[in-house]
Structure 1
């Protein structure tokens, strides 16, 4: 039994003395380690209160006369933390840096996004002087495949004297992560707490009935079992006793007709059920902006009202305060009336497509208990302090930026962790809405999983390589890469393979000894025996290779023949259920396995591929096929005509055509027959030993290659990036065996963008030099913007605008193509193609046009932009313009145009929000 930690340090005593609640054991342990001078890693569930340890780091830094940087993964969380810390320490002691906003940046406590701190480290910013503590909130974000490397860069780049406080959601490899941090930063205390301060109950909503997910009668400390009543209800009362497949098929057909998803309960009805069950306030995660807005619209069309008159008055006060900075003419285009109407009735949406001030108002009202239901995307789960009594999940699939994927157990835990308000609720509730795709066992697997490994996404990038080489040199940069969490995890995973390699090498030595002893017993010349064994092995390898080549050649020949078939040609299907004559109704699609649509003698219609043929099909004749073959009557007529056509199919069993003679293989077989050992007797044991040695040798070679590839992959990637930079003269050999940054490379060092190399190359090529500020903002947006719709292609040909802008965009594309050729030569992933989908909108806005006109310009160009997206992309344009301005000569025309472009874009709704 462990004893509860006690508060002993003077600063922790002072810190807890101003709190109006008692802190938990894990918080005491984390804070005590900090006061003892250690770094700390805290892993605890969402809502457990791990930020207390981060706030104590702020207190400790101020008490000791130092500085504390509090980093977060998103700007919204930075803004929230900024206001929280101002309330405790006063505005004079707290600052904010989020790339496009700078408030009191010289304060002893500064909240910032992690990217800002990374950039400060690379620039050796004076603001780092006196820094004693860094809090890395949501540090598990380093697993993010797009931005996760930044967290590792910060941990590796901070001065060793800085104490790092890492706050993470529960992960199963916390000790591994802490071992790495201890290796690179010194003593680090690990504080893991899996206890939720507010118990979480799991439910499934099936139609109009709410069920417990787990069987409460069987909770003996083992793995909980699914509630049998829930399973029976789904099977018998909803699907029908034996109609699961039928129901799924019918549902799929209904979806195809309506284009909508069926949950079995409307959103207003769902909200009413939650209210009746006492489960409000609630957050419903939908994973789609359109879905969130659609849910809100459904509630607006209903008679649902969740607030009393006094609460409505309070809502009006908050809303008016958040609308004061909006231009009067923007209210209609922003949908203020509908948004306000939902808030006055107690429900709202929350997603990145909303105007930041709208999201902030929703967050404030929800915290005050004046919004009872929020329909949100998963952005809300990222650290923003909006706990609820219950959380509802309508789907267990989300879009990850590339495809729709299943929720992981970690994501499920992060989302449902919002349920249960500490100090308010006795318990929290997670509700999953049943659909035919969501089986209880699957939900139970997500809810009951306890394995959430933290995996590094660290990978060398151009800006990273430039800054590392500038600070540490080439060898120092490689040393830093070897200290990364990515390499740390690779080395640990290679341990198992290295152990296997060691075992295989021991086996090889053993079989060698046995083989030598056996050769001596048989009085064999080792060289003669080895020659014979090698010849046998070579023949086997040649035979395997020939079989493989014959199979590939056969498949290719079949595919070519199938791809050449035309409408009306008759062939003989050689295998499968529908052997016999078939007539081609529709030629094959293009692809690796062409599949023409055919109709067989028995009336079957379907596409046939290589699997149905042993040899390439021969055309046996032609048949007249009518234009419309879709009706049942037409197909019966064609089948009858095929049977009466007189075309005969080949008789007998279909045999694979003989392969041509391999004369080299025949020569090898002849040498084997003539070998003096070929007819020797009593050598079977020797041959078996030799074959065993060959197998073990292959295993050793394979394992050795795998270990070498894994341990060197990170450095190989880095060397490929360095190769591109040398090729493009951003780096150069100093003549003494070292690599250094060139004056041209100094530009790239200051560009922090996914398309950093393309931006630097465009600056060097001068394709942006003579642009007006609005046109510069437009062309800069092209290297940032990504259209949300796959069908949109924002090419230069579709871009409205003046000749100078079109020429600059054309020049940018030419630079992009040239740069990609260099990257391809070095095996580096190519830069994403510029997208002009935001050019018209940002150009109109930077020229002083209204919000309505700017959004209309985007629509006319093929992109329907939400106000939130409009603000977000404009801010990214501002950020990159500032980087460009800071990377070139201050007196250059490009610097002046960038400065004026920033001024033109940073106005109205873009300037009025702290996001």
Structure 2
């Protein structure tokens, strides 16, 4: 073992694992290292060795993470070892000792440094990329690849990843773009994991046979399901059949239907009853306490569910802490909230939170104030906090290992539907169980659900399928930065070196193999077709062209109609009166867009019979055209019949006054196509093969040849397109930028240089709004409201919420912003680019109220927003305001941006700037 590795290993109270020592040796030898290991296996030790080497050799080390909370946690760990003088922190809104030898930062900060050629990069020797599997993240993943591709070759990169099934592919790519690179993989947990199911109040092992060990993989074990669980499942099924034959009561009332929302192989919410009632959360806490399985993380895929669970346990009078532990938790809570005002604490229901915390119970989710999450994290790490009800976000990097992990359900809501969790998600969640150096074993406990199949649960617990897929794609900001720093040729080369292109190129090889097989089939098929009357292929091609034109004409009409419908929906506003087929005159309640980038727009309407519909383009035959408008009250509620009746009365009055005609939304046919089809039919009848008695048999053979030729052309085009797919996307991005004046040939204009400083999903829309003076004449609070529409994304909700801009001035500016978004979207469509997501006004009022100086209690009460969400979105508005201030240069807008940011950086937002 090299001396530096031996010296470093001596700093730890336990013996390092073989994979950790192997990775450290490679790093000491000058290689970059990719480490892939399960959650809790100690990957960060290798990252800490990079820090150790930097200190020993007098070079810098940057430790990057995907989220601020993880950056903060790592910063405190390194300060404890190396002291405040040597360690810095950069997370966008926090800057501490930024020129230190060791700097912890979010990956976006490092990317921005590289683009700006920051002098802070001087003497950089090592970069640690913690949780590098985040490069699969849809919106943030591209940053990882930008950094990996752009860092100097002299920098050694330590990439730390969860276990992924295609780790060798990722390692091959890293070797391709970074040179000497070692891949170190460990699939073994340092603490063995027991898999159990809680049925009622009884814990039952999921597997029979030998207990797991740290040296054994789940896939090594014959996943033999415990017969006791199979008997429970069989007994439940028998009872279901009996209940279906003998419904309760003469009318059958009380009989429950099977399946329903979330019912799948892991069970669901609505399913025939099973033996005994479901185990309550309070009972689970008692079972875990008596079995000595605390502390535990109890995953519930719902923020409301987490908060409700804490109340249920607290209201049951359950206490899991000793007096000294309760006292410690109280002190931790008071320390983290010492800078908050009494009024704010009251608005946040702090005393209720603190009482439950001291009893050993708390929640942890994104809707919490960052200070509250920090309290929970510190309390849990101390060992005093015993039970944390958490959403899955806790599993993403935060170091909060537990003795036990509980999964209440194996089904979650993904924003559109209830789906089974994947093996990768199961592994990530249960990976928190088992504290190294504290527990001799970890426990994963699944609560029995009606309809659960134990074999499916066993399969979930035994599989390791988590492929890493690149999400890298050029953006407008990326394009101008690459063009500024590298020029067009080097920029394309960089894109072609990305992991996304690397994965694509592998698929091209497979496509080429298929294409060779198709050519052999074609040769044989051409030899088989022959007609004594004429050219059978010529005849078949006429028939094929007719079919193609008819299909294309129909498809074109549908596509044109779909585009027109989609465009009409984006033009609507709440209060517009439209005519909905089969429903009649209706009022628009909400307009939105599906969450995914470029997702379809949708509109929610209410008709005269109180029917509420959520319509998407495929639900409509033609555009929706507004023929008038009524006012939708700010406090309108769909659940209130009086409110609905009043709104629909206003619509009826408006229609009676104006007597509008039902809009004609039919799409005209293409006369040229119709004439071409008629001409081809005449040629077909005149063709000699038309009289052949075997023409249909010839047609079958010819159709096969046409199909094979078409497939061969498709594969060839696909292969050619994939071979430079990212370069093509980059060219399309540059075409949009050129049309709008951000690029002049290969050079950046002043507008392009401004765009370099704007890092936002709607970066181009923001830049265009600056150029068109959309933000001019706004005061700081109004600017905050308008900027919020560029960062905020509403959470899916069943309740109709009708957000408004706070005043006429901001509403006018936001309407101009939407017009810019539509114009940019039309240009993107013409260049075959996905349109950016729709601006969302859902946070505008909250941003305006907070920037105007209103109290936290009033803002939260008015908007109904969770405190953690509120703080997070405020910070994003502050961040965008800061970006614009830097981008636009001296002038009134810069002053207004600074004023808006300063007005929002107060109270709970300022107090928590370093917590999240």
- With normalisation by structure 2, the TM-score equals 0.79
Matched, 1:93 2:86: yes
Matched, 1:292 2:306: yes
Instruction: Output one character per residue of 1:345-367: Cα deviation in whole Å (capped at 9) or x when no partner.
Output: 11100011111111111111111
> 1:359 is matched with which residue?
373
> 2:256 is matched with which residue?
250
Matches within 5 A, 1:602-613: none
> 1:157 is matched with which residue?
150
Would the alpha carbon gap of residues 510 and 666 (structure 1) be closer, same or farther in structure 2, given more than 3 Å must change? closer
Matches within 5 A, 1:181-220: 181-216=174-209
> 1:225 is matched with which residue?
224
Select which of 840, 860, 872 maps to 1:855.
860
> 1:418 is matched with which residue?
432
Matched, 1:711 2:729: no
RMSD: 3.6
Structure 1: stretches of 5+ with no match in the other structure: 1-7, 520-527, 556-562, 567-586, 596-660, 734-738
Would the alpha carbon gap of residues 93 and 794 (structure 1) be closer, same or farther in structure 2, given more than 3 Å must change? farther
State how far apart, in whole Å, the 2-side matches of 1:181 and 1:444 are: 35
State how far apart, in whole Å, the 2-side matches of 1:300 and 1:784 are: 37
Would the alpha carbon gap of residues 663 and 871 (structure 1) be closer, same or farther in structure 2, given more than 3 Å must change? closer
Q: CA deviation at 1:685?
A: 13
> 1:829 is matched with which residue?
834
> 1:800 is matched with which residue?
806
1:535 and 1:672 in contact (8 A); partners too: no
State how far apart, in whole Å, the 1-side matches of 2:698 and 2:417 are: 55
Instruction: Output one character per residue of 1:37-82: Cα deviation in whole Å (capped at 9) or x when no partner.
Output: 0000000000000000000001111111111111111110000000
State how far apart, in whole Å, the 1-side matches of 2:330 and 2:877 are: 34
2:540 and 2:699 in contact (8 A); partners too: no
Q: Partner of 2:721: helix, strand, or coil?
A: helix
Q: Which structure has the greater CA radius of gyration?
A: 1
Would the alpha carbon gap of residues 126 and 668 (structure 1) be closer, same or farther in structure 2, given more than 3 Å must change? same
Q: CA deviation at 1:225?
A: 2.5
> 1:604 is matched with which residue?
none
State how far apart, in whole Å, the 2-side matches of 1:349 and 1:688 are: 66
1:409 and 1:447 in contact (8 A); partners too: yes
State how far apart, in whole Å, the 2-side matches of 1:695 and 1:830 are: 33
Q: Partner of 1:459: helix, strand, or coil?
A: coil
Matched, 1:177 2:193: no
Would the alpha carbon gap of residues 849 and 533 (structure 1) be closer, same or farther in structure 2, given more than 3 Å must change? same
1:139 and 1:168 in contact (8 A); partners too: yes
Select which of 665, 668, 684 maps to 1:668.
684
Q: Partner of 1:21: helix, strand, or coil?
A: coil
Q: CA deviation at 1:782?
A: 2.0
> 1:904 is matched with which residue?
903
Select which of 815, 820, 830 maps to 2:820.
815
> 2:738 is matched with which residue?
726
Structure 2: stretches of 5+ with no match in the other structure: 212-217, 248-253, 263-267, 272-276, 559-580, 585-610, 621-676
Q: Partner of 2:687: helix, strand, or coil?
A: helix
> 2:541 is matched with which residue?
538
2:738 and 2:744 in contact (8 A); partners too: yes
Instruction: Output one character per residue of 1:128-166: Cα deviation in whole Å (capped at 9) or x when no partner.
Output: 111111100000011111211111111111111111100
Q: CA deviation at 1:839?
A: 2.4
State how far apart, in whole Å, the 1-side matches of 2:94 and 2:113 are: 15
Q: Partner of 2:33: helix, strand, or coil?
A: strand
1:206 and 1:234 in contact (8 A); partners too: no
Would the alpha carbon gap of residues 221 and 670 (structure 1) be closer, same or farther in structure 2, given more than 3 Å must change? same
Residues 67-76 or 325-334, more deviating:
325-334
Larger relative contact order (CA 8 Å, sep ≥ 6)? 2
State how far apart, in whole Å, the 1-side matches of 2:698 and 2:843 are: 74
> 2:283 is matched with which residue?
269
Q: Partner of 1:242: helix, strand, or coil?
A: helix
> 2:95 is matched with which residue?
102
Aligned residues: 787
> 1:581 is matched with which residue?
none
Q: CA deviation at 1:325?
A: 1.1
Q: CA deviation at 1:831?
A: 2.6
1:490 and 1:711 in contact (8 A); partners too: yes
State how far apart, in whole Å, the 1-side matches of 2:853 and 2:421 are: 43
1:781 and 1:877 in contact (8 A); partners too: yes
Would the alpha carbon gap of residues 116 and 529 (structure 1) be closer, same or farther in structure 2, given more than 3 Å must change? farther
2:780 and 2:851 in contact (8 A); partners too: yes
Select which of 770, 774, 777 maps to 1:767.
774
- With normalisation by structure 1, the TM-score equals 0.80
Instruction: Output one character per residue of 1:785-844: Cα deviation in whole Å (capped at 9) or x when no partner.
Output: 222244678878x3233x433333233223223222222322222233322332232223
Matched, 1:41 2:41: no
Q: CA deviation at 1:537?
A: 2.3
> 1:632 is matched with which residue?
none
1:778 and 1:839 in contact (8 A); partners too: yes
Q: Partner of 1:11: helix, strand, or coil?
A: helix
Select which of 505, 512, 530 maps to 1:498.
512
Q: CA deviation at 1:275?
A: 1.3
State how far apart, in whole Å, the 1-side matches of 2:583 and 2:894 are: 62
Q: CA deviation at 1:912?
A: 1.4
Would the alpha carbon gap of residues 51 and 685 (structure 1) be closer, same or farther in structure 2, given more than 3 Å must change? same
Would the alpha carbon gap of residues 370 and 679 (structure 1) be closer, same or farther in structure 2, given more than 3 Å must change? closer
Would the alpha carbon gap of residues 252 and 850 (structure 1) be closer, same or farther in structure 2, given more than 3 Å must change? farther
1:170 and 1:452 in contact (8 A); partners too: yes
2:401 and 2:432 in contact (8 A); partners too: yes
Q: CA deviation at 1:109?
A: 0.7
> 1:747 is matched with which residue?
754
